[in-house]
Chains A and B, each alone.
Chain A
Amino acid sequence: GQNIDQPTEMTATEGAIVQINCTYQTSGFNGLFWYQQHAGEAPTFLSYNVLDGLEEKGRFSSFLSRSKGYSYLLLKELQMKDSASYLCAVRRNAGGTSYGKLTFGQGTILTVHP
């Protein structure tokens, strides 16, 4: 099976930097995804890591260490609109028709204060 852990809640101040961690245990790891979900809305794709290292996309960056089973999402220059739930999801390479299935963590609710 898979086990994905992320903090339940975090708070930060507008303009600051926040790092949301995600640890996972799985066999056949084949990619880690971050999604953003505003309250009452659908998740939207933020980033994808399959190799170790940092992927940067504007104010958002995502890091992966496969040997440690660890990822983080870094949000810079926080804005009020970044208040949302951030979901970490792991894809497992089970082959055949299982390709593409994700297992989600419970999400981290980020609140950005003025």
Chain B
Amino acid sequence: NAGVTQTPKFRILKIGQSMTLQCTQDMNHNYMYWYRQDPGMGLKLIYYSVGAGITDKGEVPNGYNVSRSTTEDFPLRLELAAPSQTSVYFCASSSGTGGHEQYFGPGTRLTVT
């Protein structure tokens, strides 16, 4: 099992550009999440999904969009990148049973200049 994988690992964007951060999990988890982590801070939830075709906003959704067409994939789209979106982005997934702990991908470090 690869677990949760994210691409790319690093990216530099110019202001106004767009990009998609990819996230895939092979654990057949229904729940998937996107977080951002600014230096010295905890994680802030951007969007989450409870299954294919169902997504909802988290704490900081402005400037982002998501889709969930399959159980495995949960891409995060940045439109019109701004310097405030410079951060490390983590994707996570969890099953719907037990303690419901979340498993995280390795992260994407994004810089917008």
Contacts and interface: CB of A to CB of B under 8 A. Distances in A.
Nearest to A33: B101
Nearest to B41: A106
A101 B105 CA distance: 17
Interface string B74-113: 0000000000000000100010100111111111000000
A41 B50 CA distance: 25
Interface string B33-73: 10000001111110010100010101100000000000000
Given A97-B50, A100-B94, A100-B100, A42 B40 contact: no
Interface residues of A, number: 24
Nearest to A87: B42
Contact of B41 (A41, A42, A103, A107): A107
Among A50, A98, A100, the most chain B Cβ lie within 10 Å of the Cβ of A100
A7 interface: no
Contact of B56 (A4, A43, A44, A97): A97
Contact of B43 (A50, A87, A91, A100): A87
Given A42-B105, A45-B103, A48-B99, 7 more contacts: A42-B90, A42-B107, A87-B43, A100-B100, A101-B33, A101-B48, A102-B102
28 contacts: A31-B99, A31-B100, A33-B99, A33-B101, A41-B107, A42-B90, A42-B104, A42-B105, A42-B107, A43-B90, A43-B104, A45-B101, A45-B102, A48-B101, A50-B99, A89-B43, A97-B50, A97-B54, A98-B56, A99-B96, A100-B31, A100-B100, A101-B33, A101-B58, A102-B102, A106-B40, A107-B41, A107-B42
Interface of A: 4, 31, 33, 41-45, 48, 50, 87, 89, 91, 97-107
